[in-house]
Structure 1
Amino acid sequence: MRQVVFNQKGGVGKSTITCNLAAIGAQQGLRTLVVDLDAQANSTRYLLGAQADDELPGVAEFFDQTLKFTLRDQGIEAFVTASPFENLDVMPASPRLDELHGKLESRYKIYKLRDALAALGTQYDRVWIDTPPALNFYTRSALIAAQGCLIPFDCDDFSRRALYGLMEAVQEIQADHNPDLAVTGIVVNQFQPRANLPQRLVQELIDEGLPVLQPYLGASVKIKESHERNLPMVHLDARHRLTQDYLALHAALQPVPAAKGKRGR
């Protein structure tokens, strides 16, 4: 399963959600890859720590390769780095992504990521794709490559207004490029249950029939410590309330096993 985490609004928790869900799956034994398409490289830093300062081959080098004629391209595995966490690998981002954007868009390399991830076959059980806060070449590449799309929502009126255009963008990609793409759901982030505004905004989304996922992710300063120490919540504090939110959300996202048919007598 390949999931993209996408919102055109910045600061809604895309990287935090991507890395924490990926870390939980990896801890539970799922072979997991995080692809960081954001030039800010927040997911890369979160999962690799000081190792992110090294000149690691990653997404930029992968896309740069597609712009050059070579007799034999390196497979996507050459651009993947093992994280300190078992079962969890990262395809790092770098500021070079901004430099390459115009060339990639003009040369129409929009399907290269999809093809490369498909070539991995069964090497990974889960692929999580973090995206920049814009509907640009990299985000479109991710939506074309993915099977599901998670949309973070930070209980803000601006985020709510952006949701409708965002859903339309996903539907357009689905219609024109990727019929297998579906909106997995809206992830409510930084939820404060005692505040009136978050409760009202989320309820309005539900009343409109939008796919709001349960549970909601609570607000906590602990997540800042998690970022600073480069430890996803499940490794920083497994018993914390926010960790439990993430664990429950991860469980809710798992495919439901097909029911076995009853054997006739």
Structure 2
Amino acid sequence: MRRVIFNQKGGVGKSTITCNLAAISASRGLRTLVVDLDTQGNSTAYLMGRETALPEDAGTAPFFDQVLSFRLYEKDPLEFIVESPFENLHVMAASRELENLQGKLESRYKIYKLKEALEGLESEYDAIYVDTPPALNFYTRSALIAANRCLIPFDCDDFSRRALYELLDNVAEIRADHNPELTVEGIIVNQFQSRAKVIQQAVNTLREEGQPVLEQFLSASVKVRESHEHCKPLIYLAPKHKLTAEFASLYDALMSH
């Protein structure tokens, strides 16, 4: 299964959700790949460590750079992937070089190359998770075209709710024009606070409208910050924490579909 985690709004927990779901997948014995397309590289840092020196010829930027050039010998997509410190969990890392490549990739219409690569990698991996930039750009469109399922983090404020409608329209357009397999697997309520009326109202409004809000909420917790600081997803840092259990419940619900 190829899942993309997407929201055009920043700070909604895309990388946190991507990495924690992928880490649970890996901890359950599934060979799991995280593809980081965000130039900020938050998923890369979270899984690989901020001080880890990654090979210059590995990652999403070298992969897309190869796409732009004709070569007699092309590297297999596997060669752009590195192992993380966690068993069964691999990463195609992001870098700032993605910014420099974007214009060239758009002008030469390389929008289907990621799909071709990830389809080929499905023989090597049981699960693939793609983290995207907080914008509808070339990399996000590539990810939506390459994926089977789309997960949308939602951080429970009215501004996010209004932006969600445009996001859903954009996903529907990608599905109609490029990828009929793509389905919105669900909206993930993140940073949930059960006592906050505004949050409850926002979630209830989405449900009343028939939006695909998942039943499994992710609570607000300082443990996420600790997890980022230690570069360890929650299943490894705090396996018995409440939020870890919520991620596991979310993962199980997604796998049961």
TM-score where L is the length of structure 2: 0.98
Please show how residues 102-121 of structure 1 align to structure 2 within 5 Å: 102-121=103-122
What SS does the aligned partner of 1:206 have? helix
Aligned to 2:127: 126
- TM-aligned CA distance change 1:52 to 1:157, over 3 Å: farther
- TM-aligned CA distance change 1:109 to 1:32, over 3 Å: same
**Residues 148 and 181 in structure 1, CA contact (< 8 A), matched pair in contact too:** yes
**Residues 41 and 94 in structure 1, CA contact (< 8 A), matched pair in contact too:** yes
Question: Aligned residues, how many?
Answer: 256
**Residues 191 and 198 in structure 1, CA contact (< 8 A), matched pair in contact too:** yes
Please show how residues 40-79 of structure 1 align to structure 2 within 5 Å: 40-50=40-50, 52-56=52-56, 57-79=58-80
CA deviation after TM superposition for structure 1 residue 73, in Å: 1.1
Instruction: State the alpha-carbon separation in 2 of the partners of residues 121 and 250 from structure 1.
Output: 19
CA deviation after TM superposition for structure 1 residue 61, in Å: 0.2
Aligned to 1:187: 188
Instruction: State the alpha-carbon separation in 1 of the partners of residues 51 and 85 from structure 2.
Output: 10
Instruction: State the alpha-carbon separation in 1 of the partners of residues 89 and 163 from structure 2.
Output: 32
Aligned to 1:259: none
Instruction: State the alpha-carbon separation in 2 of the partners of residues 228 and 238 from structure 1.
Output: 16
What SS does the aligned partner of 2:172 have? helix
What SS does the aligned partner of 1:249 have? helix
Instruction: State the alpha-carbon separation in 2 of the partners of residues 51 and 86 from structure 1.
Output: 20
Please show how residues 89-108 of structure 1 align to structure 2 within 5 Å: 89-108=90-109
**Residues 44 and 52 in structure 1, CA contact (< 8 A), matched pair in contact too:** no
Aligned to 1:238: 239
Aligned to 1:203: 204
What SS does the aligned partner of 1:184 have? strand
In structure 2, what residue type is equivalent to 1:3? R
In structure 2, what residue type is equivalent to 1:34? V
Instruction: Show CA shifts across 1:71-99 (max 9, x none).
Output: 12111101000001111000000000001
Instruction: Show CA shifts across 1:49-84 (max 9, x none).
Output: 045443441000000001111012111101000001
- TM-aligned CA distance change 1:11 to 1:125, over 3 Å: same
CA deviation after TM superposition for structure 1 residue 157, in Å: 1.1
Greater shift, 71-80 or 8-17, is seen at 71-80
What SS does the aligned partner of 1:74 have? coil
**Residues 47 and 231 in structure 1, CA contact (< 8 A), matched pair in contact too:** yes
CA deviation after TM superposition for structure 1 residue 121, in Å: 3.4
In structure 2, what residue type is equivalent to 1:118? E
What SS does the aligned partner of 2:159 have? helix
Instruction: State the alpha-carbon separation in 2 of the partners of residues 52 and 66 from structure 1.
Output: 26
Q: Percent of aligned pairs with the same residue?
A: 61
Aligned to 1:20: 20
Aligned to 1:8: 8
What SS does the aligned partner of 1:151 have? strand
TM-score where L is the length of structure 1: 0.95
Which structure has the larger Rg? 1
CA deviation after TM superposition for structure 1 residue 183, in Å: 0.2
Instruction: Show CA shifts across 1:85-129 (max 9, x none).
Output: 111000000000001110000010000000011112321010000
Instruction: State the alpha-carbon separation in 1 of the partners of residues 75 and 102 from structure 2.
Output: 20
Instruction: State the alpha-carbon separation in 1 of the partners of residues 134 and 170 from structure 2.
Output: 13
In structure 2, what residue type is equivalent to 1:24? I
Gaps of 5+ in 1: 257-265
In structure 1, what residue type is equivalent to 2:175? Q
Please show how residues 72-87 of structure 1 align to structure 2 within 5 Å: 72-87=73-88
Aligned to 1:150: 151
**Residues 37 and 131 in structure 1, CA contact (< 8 A), matched pair in contact too:** yes
Gaps of 5+ in 2: none
Instruction: State the alpha-carbon separation in 1 of the partners of residues 249 and 123 from structure 2.
Output: 25
